[in-house]
Structure 1
Amino acid sequence: MDFAELTALLTPEGLRLLDEVGGIDSTDEAAATVSRLRAAGLSPDLVSAVVGQARLRTRARTKFGAFADRMLFTRAGLEQATRLEIGARHAGRFRSAEVERVADLGCGIGGDSLAFAGIGLDVLAVDVDEVTAALAAYNLAPFGDAATVLHARAEEVELADADAVWLDPARRTAGHGETTRVGAAEWSPALEWVWEVASRRPAGIKLGPGFDRTQIPQDAEAQWISVDGSTIELVVWTGSLARPGVRRAALVIRGGRAAELTAAADAPDAEVRPLGAYLHEPEGAVIRARLIGEVARAIDAGMLDPKVAYLTSDTEASSPFVQSFRIRETLPNDVKALSRALRERGIGTLEIKKRAVDVDPATLRARLKLKGAAAATLIVTRIGDRRVTLLADRV
């Protein structure tokens, strides 16, 4: 969205038209809507803005639920926004620390600020991009004076009135559409400035889950978060926002149910043991937090290989921190022999998981030419210098 489209949209006519159009689910529906609106004599900027927002609102429902239908977005802003359920957990951390005023530096379209304001915190939301800041102001307007939005550089904002800060440094190129990742040296605001601010006042810092762990301050809490199988972010908490005695945390959410594993430091790995009747795949947040050993000992499992994040045990285990599979048998690694073995077993639906091997699941599935009504999971991994292919069922 450019400024001309924003200007056309932020009018009574534009917002009324957006509500009338409703959600748009497909490219064909978008094209038909564009044709209809242009035939009605509406301006190209207004039509582009309305149709673009209608499509984004439909996509945004996975992150914001029903709130998406009254929000405005850019494509990049939606991709980078925090999911509402995660934002609510962030906000709860601030409230538990008795924070009343929070500065959201790098607020984007206002996802986290919505959660902060939603539980009664006073919010100063700041973004360096003019269009994005305008959208954040619209999204936060229902909160009135409790949420103030500034178009400014984070480094230039006066923070004296803020009890704590939320920092989400931009890790991608500027823009409202397609963006690309940039190196840490090009983040905005700069990481050195972020750490300096976080050393002076309580802070939550949203980072990518693959962030270099060696740069995390030793006195901070590092919390990795996985949602429905995807590891979505790392949050570094400092000052009173960091929990006493906690330096590593893995928060796992599946189907709306949450479980968390915490520790004072990285956990030693469990001992390696031979492949048993079950294989367990730790959640991504557990792997990133280096708490695999804690999980292994809790379910009486061992490492399948010292360098591969799979666990194995002889007995079934129930844990929110792993996905478990019952091993049926070991199959050939050769594609032709593997294909033949799967056809003999009538397997036509196959989930393919891999770790520590150079395998593309989509390419492998196509080469296997599956046929049959049965379903199973194929796990391709390495034990020592040996590649193994395991047929399994989810527990």
Structure 2
Amino acid sequence: MLLSDEGQELLARLREHDPADDLAVATRLRRTHDAGLVAAALTQARLRQRGAAKFGADAGRMYFTPHGLEQSTRAPVAEHRARRFAAYGPGAVADLCCGVGGDALALLRHGLTVTAVDRDPLTCAVVRANAEALGLAERLEVVCGDVTDVGAGGREGVFVDPARRTARGRVFDPEAYSPPLSWALGTAAAGSPGAVKVAPGIPHEAVPPAAEAEWISDGGDVKEAVLWFDAGGDRVRPGARRATLLPSGATLTGRGLPDPPVRPVGRYLYEPDGAVIRAHLVAEVAEELAGGLIDPTIAYVTADELRPTPYATAYEITDVLPFHLKRLKALVRDRGIGVLTVKKRGSAVSPEDLRRRVSPRGPNSATVILTRTAGTPTMLLSHPVTP
């Protein structure tokens, strides 16, 4: 319905639509249009507005299902992955469990031929419509079927994104994924290259020895992990661990370093990006910063010098104190701190509760870091700095 001229006209009229006006707009439009078409257009308008957070300006021309939008890869992450595929030069990629096409669209934009496979007919129609809307349909083949039956279809490159949710919520057993993770890994391992999208919390011991594991963050939020394979060459490093930070694209690869030393808090504290922590690469960051850990179990790096790094956020420490609520309240009051950012790692204290009890007031701002130093509950008063 939405692809008809009438549907396109409705979508164009609803482009700047405020969802708060749904009832009034629906009532008005139903006077001249089919009620079902109006409902579909309003739903799509809302989904496009939500989709802007993942797809930017493209969302205004794309089509979504609620589940498909929720599970889709955000554009910067898909773009990064497509760039890696294109650099490896497979020419054609099978996108298995393609969803609404976020990854397929990125692969197409990098000049690759894509076979997108999904078992849901509506989702397949959405992928086709999205490629048409963005002018990318020429090199796209959509196959509607079970990926375990269709397979990679002879494509050299393979990308698999198993569904980790059902109608009842998140699935924690990898063999209950759709398709099972073992099938996804086996299929991707035969690719040249091949990749499987997995949850960022995947245990390191669950990563196959033949895979290179890459954790990806976007704007500081860890979004996913990808297991890379290359059955036909040496374009990935089996056993390697990598952290990639978007939008900068900075990539840190593990060098097998031992745990950093534990040392007293210096002038600066560095908070590594979540992808660095997930990839177990804090030691690489500590070496780069000539720093050490404040506690053997806490992923905070401390150093005496301020050095630039894309892999961590730096804070200048002004006070290192044993955790004491009354003392913190007095410090905040005496220094006129009205904006208090509370960060924590290794502390059971609720930031919201602490902020409420401290009652910050005044023109100044500060960051308090609740953590442990050498096993002792500690509060570090600080402010962010840029090298």
TM-score, normalized by length of structure 1?
A: 0.90
What SS does the aligned partner of 2:316 have? strand
AA of the residue aligned to 2:353 = T
Q: Which stretches in structure 2 are left out of the alignment for 5+ residues?
A: none
1:261 to 233, 243, 252: 252
AA of the residue aligned to 1:345 = R
What SS does the aligned partner of 2:42 have? helix
C-alpha separation in 2, matches of 1:316 and 1:201: 44
Residue 274, structure 1, aligned to residue 267, structure 2: no
Give the match for residue 94 of structure 2: 103
Residue 289, structure 1, aligned to residue 279, structure 2: yes
Give the match for residue 190 of structure 2: 200
Contact 1:93 1:241 in 2 (8 A): no
C-alpha separation in 1, matches of 2:300 and 2:62: 42
**Structure 2 vs 1, CA of residues 314 and 100 (structure 1 numbering), >3 Å: closer, same or farther?**
same
C-alpha separation in 2, matches of 1:359 and 1:47: 49
Greater displacement, 229-238 / 42-51: 42-51
Greater displacement, 70-79 / 292-301: 70-79
Q: Which stretches in structure 1 are left out of the alignment for 5+ residues?
A: 1-7
C-alpha separation in 1, matches of 2:39 and 2:351: 38
Give the match for residue 158 of structure 2: 165
**Structure 2 vs 1, CA of residues 288 and 220 (structure 1 numbering), >3 Å: closer, same or farther?**
same
2:54 to 60, 63, 67: 63
List 4+ stretches of structure 1 deviating above 4 A: none
Contact 2:94 2:153 in 1 (8 A): no
Give the match for residue 25 of structure 2: 33
What SS does the aligned partner of 2:249 have? strand
**Structure 2 vs 1, CA of residues 232 and 158 (structure 1 numbering), >3 Å: closer, same or farther?**
closer
Give the match for residue 349 of structure 1: 339
**Structure 2 vs 1, CA of residues 391 and 36 (structure 1 numbering), >3 Å: closer, same or farther?**
farther
Q: How many residues align?
A: 379
C-alpha separation in 2, matches of 1:158 and 1:295: 40
| TM alignment of 1:1-395, pairs within 5 A | 8-25=1-18, 27-38=19-30, 40-141=31-132, 142-174=135-167, 180-183=169-172, 184-202=174-192, 203-239=194-230, 240=233, 242-244=235-237, 247-253=240-246, 256-263=247-254, 266-331=256-321, 333-395=323-385
C-alpha separation in 2, matches of 1:169 and 1:237: 15
C-alpha separation in 2, matches of 1:108 and 1:24: 26
Identity %: 40
AA of the residue aligned to 1:181 = R
Greater displacement, 382-391 / 107-116: 382-391
How far apart are residue 247 of structure 1 and its match? 0.9
Contact 2:175 2:182 in 1 (8 A): no
AA of the residue aligned to 2:52 = R
Greater displacement, 95-104 / 41-50: 41-50
C-alpha separation in 2, matches of 1:381 and 1:169: 37
Greater displacement, 377-386 / 219-228: 377-386
How far apart are residue 41 of structure 1 and its match? 4.7
1:141-163 per-position Cα deviation (integer Å, ceiling 9, x unaligned): 23234111122111011434211
Contact 1:245 1:263 in 2 (8 A): no
1:256-300 per-position Cα deviation (integer Å, ceiling 9, x unaligned): 322111135x43221111111111101111111111111101110
What SS does the aligned partner of 1:9 have? coil
What SS does the aligned partner of 2:371 have? strand
1:95-128 per-position Cα deviation (integer Å, ceiling 9, x unaligned): 2222111110011110000011112211111112
1:72-106 per-position Cα deviation (integer Å, ceiling 9, x unaligned): 11233222222222212211212222211111001
RMSD across aligned positions (CA)? 2.0
**Structure 2 vs 1, CA of residues 357 and 150 (structure 1 numbering), >3 Å: closer, same or farther?**
same
Contact 1:101 1:161 in 2 (8 A): no
**Structure 2 vs 1, CA of residues 158 and 80 (structure 1 numbering), >3 Å: closer, same or farther?**
closer
